[in-house]
A and B are shown apart, each in its own frame.
Chain A
Amino acid sequence: MNDSFYEAMIKRGYSRREFMRICAILTATIGLEASFIPKVAQALENKSRLPVIYLHLQECTCCAESFIRTAHPLLADMLFNMISLDYMETLQAAAGHQAEAAKAKTMQDYKDHYLVVVEGSIPLKDDGIYCTIGGRTAKDLLLEAARDSIGVIAYGSCATNTCVQGAHPNPTGAVPVKDIVKDKTVIDVPGCPPIAEVIAGTIVHYLTFDRLPELTRLGRPKAFYNHRIHDNCNRRAFFDAGMFVEQFDDEGAKHGWCLYKVGCKGPTTYNACAITQWNNGVSYPIKSGHPCIGCSEPGFYDDMPMYAHLAHIPGTAMPFEPDKIGKAVTGLTVAGVAAHGLATGVLMRKKPEEIQQEGGRDE
């Protein structure tokens, strides 16, 4: 865990006297009377909340909207008890110079002890003119904030894979955080947006266990991105049984069957949607009848059309071609469906390691 403000000052060669003087200035700055000085000093001697700098770069703010919807922990609990959100354009009270000064102060006072969260991609084309804040480019601001940080969380698909603005032909030359920040750990938390509890959970993981979370091969927290949505899908049994929605709102749809044939990208999408679910566990796209669009995977906007299904499902135990089987099965009797499902399970019960060897992008 990070040092207290006091410890950090002493380490950097300041005296106790200087520390108390800063406490007095700070007390006055935040509008309190002198009687508060000892309390401020006491607070600064104790462990501080984790300072977080949240940068909005080239994005649509869906990630911030998701972040504020976190149900466990509640955002208020995070803000008051866990982190010190010292810079976040969407929520902070100060603007302009005062906002930038708050950020600069955190970078200086909490050198090597603050976390950076980045929402948005970085447009590099034409000297970075496509995203400036306070007259400075996204790249400049990101490099500055990352330099003395603990690490950087690339939050959302813009920051991890450039999302929609990076789709062909990527007119502004957008790149993800990893292409800019080379000398710090970058944790990718993809999704458009990511689930609220996933971003909150990633930060609280660090706070609780004093270390950054373990990552998958693609640099994402294992706790949330280790499985495909397909692996834990509530409609998975229908996939295995060859029972598919052929068209929206058909009989299959009204019985909650598999959405693979109307374009579901669940089989190639690594995300926690099927387990954690959205908005405090209420639902996720597939459960609500729409195919997964694969929003946490790089290049998903160029893997359209959205409603056309994948040609091949990597790493699956499925022994049949859904296009051939599915149609026949859905036209059959219930007894036929059951027999097919049973046969699938018996014939192709593969071991997990065999499935992994089959390729795909198993993590």
Chain B
Amino acid sequence: MAQRIVVDPITRIEGHLRIEAEVDGGKIVNAFSSGTTFRGLERIMQGRDPRDAWAFVQRICGVCTHIHAIAAIQSVEDALKINIPKNAVLIRRIMTATQFVQDHVIHFYHLHALDWVDVVSALKADSKAASELAQSLSSYPRSSPGHFTDVQKTIKGFVESGQLGIFANAYWGHPAYKLPPEVNLIAVAHYLDALEWQKDIARIHTIFGGKNPHPNYLVGGMACAINIDNDNTINMERLDLVAREIDKAMAFVNQVYLPDLFAIASFYKDWTYGGGVENYLVYGTLANQNKNNNKDDIFPGGVILNRNLNEVFDVDPRDPEQVKEFVDHAWYEYSGEQGGRHPWNGETKVKYSGPKPPYEQLDTKDKYSWIKTPRWKGKPMEVGPLARMLVGYARGNETIKSSVDEALQRLGLGQEALFSALGRTLARGLETKIMVDDLRKSYDQLLANIKSGDSKVFDGSKWEPSSWPESAKGVGFTEAPRGALGHWVKIDHGKVSLYQAVVPTTWNAAPESQTGGKGPYEAALIGTPMADPEQPLEILRIIHSFDPCIACAAHIIDLKSRQDVGECIFY
């Protein structure tokens, strides 16, 4: 008889996620993923000025604080046929790459690492041996025996205080932890270093967008005027600060993140669980101007089915038969025709049928989540770093291909190892390296463009609503750190009449559906052995490998459809 275990809250993620799993014979035999929060922004968006939309939908998520604003702005610019100046393209691209690099590093150290790293075990480490090991892995300067002794002292003092704070009541000593004490100590030291570093790289957003989280953007370009001979604009001092942060980011990724990733991965090579649905979807990025689904992007778009890297399908988010959302297990209902709905034709009508809180268990035979179930041609899709690396690989993208091949060779693993929690975590690291290199390239291009005499950051020719058509529709597609992201907008008489976003975690955290079966989280959990069902370390490990972002996922930005249903046409 299977035992039902509940993990709620899933911590070290964004938002509120609940996992219910059935364990039988020490193995997960079934799993259910439930988003437990809903904000209902869909109705709030109606009637707003489309130039303001980015600020509302940016607040979908404070972790993905940049990319929702970018998708929103791109959708409006697409609708109004605005071409933004080259400087604005480059600045947005720098900000996108910055977000990926920062977000992935935070994810690795602060959200994911403690699934693989035993903090208490670090107390047993020999700091001299840890130093020798660290120095053999990387040229990172903070690797002296003294430094590791200091870190160890800090942790020891902390543990001995009896107040374990964020480390309290966790799974230290669990048999699934495999790292030697020295590697644990190195990882804990870098947990602290990453915490200090991540606040610095955010300053790139602050220079161009005024603050982080939630920097500011502008339909038609960027608001940060460039004048190298003024003290109150983007000038050399401002650009130098950006350059300095890029240098630091490159150093951190190359000297700390990647060496740690490989060192830790080498101890978990036989932990091959967490594969999932084995279909992968990518819209493509980097933030080239409104170019959707571009096969030549740094990360090209496409779909892979059943792990088959020999065939890549093209994705067309405008095709009403490709992306559809189902609600048979989500707390919504469709008026009229049931079944899947393309986002153009979407609807978010709440129909809560769950238990009245407080409750112990969800009725997973019925509806059980605030997250809808998106499908590509009826199939569940995983999105995110692993999808990007696999689609890039299958598309023959040289940078991605050599990155993946080298990594597998270094770890002595075959391609099949990619289809796992570990593969996902590895892909995220490899992608970060590609992103940080692109950050440097975009910065150099920005500087060269300013040097050529171009200081334009904004095209105001379509700023005034009087210059807009009576009705317009647009779409913005890109990749968020967690995967494929699309925003759709419809503008009528100068106001937003439809707004809809289908976001990465909606794909990954989706509940099951009659069409296509289990969602990616659920499928990834099934078959995983658990050493102790009371200690859900294995569940956390797999779920965290996706980097959940639940505020994004719970359907917050659909149109609360009224007369608009079915009218929307895209271009």
Binding site for B on A (CB under 8 A): 5, 23, 26, 30-32, 36, 39-40, 42-44, 48-49, 51, 56, 58-66, 68-71, 74-76, 79-80, 83-86, 88-102, 105, 123, 126-137, 140, 163-165, 167-169, 171-172, 174, 192-193, 195-196, 234-235, 247-249, 253-256, 273, 278-280, 282-291, 293, 295, 301, 304-307
The answer for the CA separation of A174 and B119 in the assembled complex, in Å, is 39
Cβ contact of A248, chosen from B65, B171, B223, cutoff 8 A: B223
Q: Are B36 and A131 in contact (CB under 8 A)?
A: yes
Q: Please choose the segment from B41-49, B314-322, B482-490, B500-508 that sits at the chain A interface, where 4 or more of its residues have CB less than 8 A away.
A: B41-49
Which chain B residues lie closer than 8 Å to A129 at the CB level? Answer: 352, 354, 356-357
A254 to B230, Cβ gap below 8 A? yes
Q: A163 to B59, Cβ gap below 8 A?
A: yes
Binds A, one of B2-10, B141-149, B296-304: B2-10
Contact in complex: B166, A287 (CB < 8 Å): no
Chain A contacts for B457, CB-based, 8 A: 248-249
Q: Does B225 contact A (CB under 8 A)?
A: yes
Among the listed A32, A51, A174, A278, which residue makes an inter-chain contact with B206, where contact means beta carbons less than 8 Å apart? A278
Q: Is B277 an interface residue (CB 8 A)?
A: no
Question: In the complex, are the beta carbons of A85 and B44 less than 8 A apart?
Answer: no
A94, B171: Cβ atoms closer than 8 Å = yes
> Are A282 and B8 closer than 8 Å at their CB atoms?
no
Interface residues of B in 27-50 (CB under 8 A from A): 36-44, 48-49
* A60: B residues at CB distance < 8 A: 14, 59-63, 551
Say how far A247's CB is from chain B's closest CB, in angstroms.
Answer: 5
Residue from B65, B202, B223 having most chain A Cβ neighbours under 10 A:
B223
Measured CB to CB, the nearest residue on chain B to A130 is B38
**Contact flags B58-102 to A (C-beta < 8 A → 1, else 0):** 011111010000000000000000000000000000000000000
* Also in contact, A279 and B206, with CB within 8 A (given A91-B166, A95-B536, A256-B230): yes
Question: Which B213-253 residues have C-beta < 8 A from chain A?
Answer: 213-214, 216-218, 220-227, 230-233, 241
Cβ B227 vs Cβ A62 within 8 A: no
Q: Evaluate whether A59 and B164 lie within 8 angstroms (CB atoms) in the complex, with A68-B199, A129-B354 already known.
A: no
Say yes or no: A279 contacts B36, CB within 8 Å. no
Residues of A within 8 Å of B467, CB to CB, are none
Annotate B169-213 by CB proximity to A: 1 below 8 A, 0 otherwise: 111110000000000000000001001101110110111111111
Least CB distance from A274 to B in Å reads: 11
Closest to A307 in B: B51
Q: Given A95-B540, A165-B40, A279-B202, do A288 and B162 touch, yes or no (CB 8 Å)?
A: no
> What 0/1 pattern do residues 488 to 519 of B give for CB contact below 8 A with A?
00000000000000000000000000000000
Q: Is the CB of A283 within 8 A of B160?
A: no
Q: A248 to B163, Cβ gap below 8 A?
A: no
Assess the A61–B62 pair: CB atoms within 8 A: yes
Task: Say how far B9's CB is from chain A's closest CB, in angstroms.
Answer: 5
- In the assembled complex, the CB of A224 is this many whole angstroms from the nearest CB of chain B, namely 15
Cα(A68)–Cα(B154), bound, Å = 19
- The answer on a CB contact under 8 Å between B161 and A48 is yes
B165-A62 in contact (CB<8A) = no
Cβ contacts A to B, 13 pairs, < 8 Å: A49-B163, A56-B16, A61-B62, A74-B195, A92-B12, A99-B169, A132-B37, A196-B199, A255-B230, A255-B233, A282-B206, A287-B210, A289-B222
| Cβ-based interface call for B456 (8 A) | yes
B571 adjacent to chain A (CB < 8 Å): no
For residue B160, which residues in chain A have a CB less than 8 angstroms away from its CB? 32, 36, 39-40, 42-43
Q: Does B455 contact A (CB under 8 A)?
A: yes
Interface flag for B126 (CB, 8 Å) = no
B360 on the interface (CB 8 Å rule)?
Answer: yes
A293, B55: Cβ atoms closer than 8 Å: yes
Contacts of B330 in A (CB 8 A): none
Q: Which residues of B contact A305 (CB under 8 A)?
A: 48-49, 51-52
B59 A88 Cβ-Cβ under 8 A: no
A73 and B460 alpha carbons, distance in the complex (Å): 42
B383 within 8 A of A: no
Minimum Cβ distance to chain A for residue B241 (Å):
7
What CA separation (Å) do A74 and B208 show in the bound complex?
A: 24
Which residues of chain A have C-beta atoms less than 8 A from B12's C-beta?
A: 89-93, 95
Residue of B43, B203, B456 touching A279 (CB-CB under 8 A): B203
Sample of 15 more A-B contacts, CB < 8 Å, known A129-B354, A280-B203: A5-B162, A42-B160, A64-B62, A66-B213, A71-B199, A92-B168, A93-B167, A129-B356, A130-B370, A135-B6, A164-B59, A165-B39, A165-B44, A254-B230, A255-B230
Collect the chain A residues with CB atoms within 8 Å of residue B16's CB: 56, 89, 131-133
By the criterion CB–CB under 8 Å, are A192 and B210 in contact? no
Q: In whole angstroms, what is the CA distance A290 to B225 when docked? A: 9
- The answer to whether A254 and B168 touch across the interface, beta carbons within 8 angstroms, is no
Taking CB atoms, residues of chain B closer than 8 Å to A131 are: 16, 36-38
Q: Mark B94-128, 1 if CB is under 8 A from A, else 0.
A: 00000000000010001100100001100000000
Would B358 and A62 count as touching, CB distance under 8 A?
Answer: no
Closest Cβ–Cβ distance, residue A135 to chain B (whole Å): 4
Contacting pair A164 B540 (CB below 8 A) = no
Chain A minimum-CB-distance residue to B39: A165
Task: With CB as the reference atom, state the residue of chain B lying closest to A235.
Answer: B232
Contact A279 B212 (CB under 8 A): yes
Is there contact, CB below 8 Å, between B59 and A80? no
Residues in A with CB closer than 8 Å to B227 are 254-256
Q: Does B11 contact A (CB under 8 A)?
A: yes
Bound complex: CA A31 to CA B59 (Å): 41
Is the beta-carbon distance between A130 and B40 smaller than 8 angstroms?
yes
Tell me the bound Cα distance from A305 to B213 in angstroms.
22
B358 contacts across to A, CB distance below 8 A:
135-137, 140
Q: How far is the CA of A248 from the CA of B16 in the complex (A)?
A: 39
Chain B residues lying within 8 Å of A85, measured Cβ to Cβ, are 165-166
Residues of A within 8 A of B120 (CB): 30-32
Is B56 in the interface zone, CB < 8 Å from A?
yes
Residue of A with least CB distance to B227: A254
- Other-chain contact of A58, B37, B170, B222 (Cβ < 8 Å): B37
Contact B209 A288 (CB under 8 A): yes
**Does A285 lie within 8 Å of B211, measured CB to CB?**
yes
Most buried by A among B11, B110, B157, B227: B11
Contact partner of A288 (CB less than 8 A), chosen from B60, B202, B223, B460, is B223
Contact A247–B460 (Cβ < 8 Å)? yes
Contact present for B62 and A193 (CB under 8 Å): yes
The interface residues of chain A lying within 8 Å CB-to-CB of B213 are 62, 65-66, 193
How far is the CB of B556 from the nearest CB of chain A, in Å? 8
The distance from the CB of A264 to the nearest CB of chain B, in whole angstroms, is 11
A241 to chain B minimum Cβ distance, whole angstroms, is: 14
Interface membership of B159, Cβ < 8 A: yes
Are A134's CB and B9's CB within 8 A? yes
Cβ of B463 < 8 Å from any Cβ of A?
yes
- State the CA gap A255–B235 with chains docked (Å): 11
Complex: A234 Cα to B455 Cα, angstroms: 22
